[in-house]
């Protein structure tokens, strides 16, 4: 997935996601955020979140953004589980994707968020993703 500039002021989320197995509640979720240090380098474990029942938890964390993603990636059903397949987005308004139930307050700075999905039963790694986030002070743009 990537962010694409639609015009001078609007951005959209594009890309694809491929599921080889159903994305359901038999999967565990781990989010580990590292903070960029003042002299460079990443300081791991700035924020850590672990949960079982990944599909239900992701749906809960995404809040109303879940339905925007479901429509944008053309999933056939907004409920868990998400069936195996390739799902492609031709563009989702980024403002709709940012309206989540994730914590609203963070210390400013640069973060590297690593998300890992594992099988709950045996810890087998199923997939992961890394995203860089830049949290600005309210008066910065």
pLDDT tens profile 75-127: 888 899 999 999 998 888 888 877 777 777 778 889 999 999 999 989 899 99
**Which pLDDT does position 126 carry in this prediction?**
94
pLDDT of residue 141: 66
Q: What is the pLDDT of residue 86?
A: 93
Rounded to an integer, the average pLDDT of 7-15 is 88
Q: What's the pLDDT at 137?
A: 79
The full set of domains in the chain, from first to last, is: 2-135 (2.70.220.10)
* Residue 5 and residue 21 in contact, taking contact as beta carbons nearer than 8 Å: no
The 8-class DSSP code of residue 37 comes to P
Over residues 57-72, mean pLDDT = 88
- What does the mean pLDDT of the chain come to? 89
How many whole angstroms separate alpha carbon 29 and alpha carbon 27? 7
> Helices in 1-141 by DSSP H: which ranges?
54-62, 65-72, 94-97
Residue 133 has what pLDDT? 87
């Amino acid at each position: 997935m990537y962010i694409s500039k639609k015009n001078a002021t609007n951005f959209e989320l594009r890309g694809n996601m491929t599921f080889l197995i159903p994305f359901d509640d038999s999967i565990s979720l781990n989010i580990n955020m590292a903070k960029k240090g003042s002299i460079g380098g990443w300081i791991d474990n700035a924020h850590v979140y672990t949960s079982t029942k990944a599909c239900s938890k992701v749906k809960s964390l995404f809040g109303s953004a879940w339905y925007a993603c479901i429509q944008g990636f053309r999933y056939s059903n907004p409920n868990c589980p998400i069936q195996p397949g390739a799902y492609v987005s031709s563009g989702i308004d980024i403002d709709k994707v940012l309206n989540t139930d994730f914590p609203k307050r963070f210390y400013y700075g640069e973060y590297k968020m690593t998300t890992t999905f594992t099988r709950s039963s045996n810890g087998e790694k199923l997939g992961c993703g890394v995203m860089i986030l830049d949290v600005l002070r309210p008066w910065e743009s």
